[in-house]
Amino acid sequence: MQKKIDKRIGILTAGGDCPGINAAIRGVAKTAILEYGMTVIGISNGYTGLINKEYFEIKESNISNILTLGGTILGTSREKPFKKDILQNEINKPKLIKEHYEQAKFDCLVCIGGNGTMLTASLLSEAGLNIIGIPKTIDNDVWGTDVTFGFDSAVNIATESIDRLHTTANSHKRIMIIEVMGHHAGWIALYSGVAGGGDIILLPEIPYDEKIICGCLENRATAKKAYSIVVVAEGIEKPKKIKAGDYIARVISDNLDYETRVTVLGYLQRGGTPSPTDRILATRYGTHAVDLIAEDRYSEMVCVINNDITSIKLSEVQDKTRLVPVNFPLIRKARRIGTCFGDVIP
């Protein structure tokens, strides 16, 4: 142990689970306990655990064998304590959280999560709590960092799935549509689409024209291409009450006489073992978060800029979403190899 720093860290995981969260918990807890002799308290089920006072001390023994484990050992929830609705009006959740934070004698909270979690973290820090954010999500859409852990694992799963669709597409001469997650951002669709050789990739950030999609499929058929793979981000523009993949299948069947099938990857891309890249990123984030705490630096989110671990003010991150820029280099490269994004090439 370098120097003992007598601090009590609360740690929670909120929002959708993703691969790598446990690696980040381990990174925080091991650094805090082994290097600084700090106490680490796990808070169950996201911000709900702070409201209900569900805590337990994380000892080194709790975090053995969790590096490769998917999900989160702390549990998670989508509780948004600052959101007002009729039922919540009775209880002032932010006030309760502040009281419980003080009663538990926390010196700071480490909040691991995506955009919603970072917004709450930022508001709690404005309310006077010491907060450090660690960004995670398969969607890769947290503002202020080049990458979140969970994304690489999700891209690996989505890519492997697209690889598997190629064989059925080819055998049956079909159009295979695969819908991937990403919320309002197209990062997973773009990366898995390019890695999996998608012929058409539809992103929420690039408005598509149905005629261009159908034209691209016709051109491929004319060029004697036996099949086509269409990768669709769940967040594309579409009518309500129909899923993105189903909507694109309807567009195709309304206009063309090609056999089409839809696969919705869903939660498969969010579960299971983190990739080595995500384990490493989560570990780097976790150790850096504790270094900030050791220096009494709060109200910050750890981030990666040009592969360097650093941090950014939570107030700069809050309420923003990192979408795919329409001129993103990978989009430009994909266009050059003939990938259709459903638009007229700019």
Of 181 and 194, nearer to ligand F6P (C-beta) is: 181
Residues near ligand F6P (CB under 6 A) are 16, 114, 137-139, 181-183, 234, 270
Dihedral sign for Cα atoms in the order 62, 63, 64, 68: positive
What is the residue whose two structure tokens read 């490769």? 68
Strand partners of residue 260: 175
Q: Shortest approach of ligand F6P to residue 182 CB, angstroms?
A: 5
Of 139 and 199, nearer to ligand F6P (C-beta) is: 139
Q: Shortest approach of ligand F6P to residue 181 CB, angstroms?
A: 3
Q: Shortest approach of ligand F6P to residue 138 CB, angstroms?
A: 5
Q: Shortest approach of ligand F6P to residue 183 CB, angstroms?
A: 4
Distance CA 203, CA 87 (A): 36
Of 199 and 234, nearer to ligand F6P (C-beta) is: 234
- What does the block give as tokens for 12? 């929670």
- Give catalytic residue positions: 139
Name residue 123's amino acid.
Answer: L
Of 39 and 115, nearer to ligand F6P (C-beta) is: 115
Q: Shortest approach of ligand F6P to residue 339 CB, angstroms?
A: 22
Q: What is the DSSP letter of 132?
A: E
Distance CA 179, CA 229 (A): 11
- What does the block give as tokens for 308? 């360097």
Q: Tally the residues of the chain.
A: 346
Distance CA 277, CA 288 (A): 17
Q: Where are the alpha helices (DSSP H) in the chain?
A: 21-30, 36, 47-52, 93-103, 115-126, 151-172, 187-195, 210-222, 244-255, 276-294, 314-317, 329-336
Position closest to ligand F6P via CB: 181
Of 139 and 300, nearer to ligand F6P (C-beta) is: 139
Number of helices (H) and strands (E) in the chain: give both, helices first.
Answer: 12, 11
Q: Shortest approach of ligand F6P to residue 114 CB, angstroms?
A: 6
Return the SS3 of 345: coil
Of 152 and 234, nearer to ligand F6P (C-beta) is: 234
Of 27, 71, 7, 20, whose CA–CA distance to 45 is shortest? 71
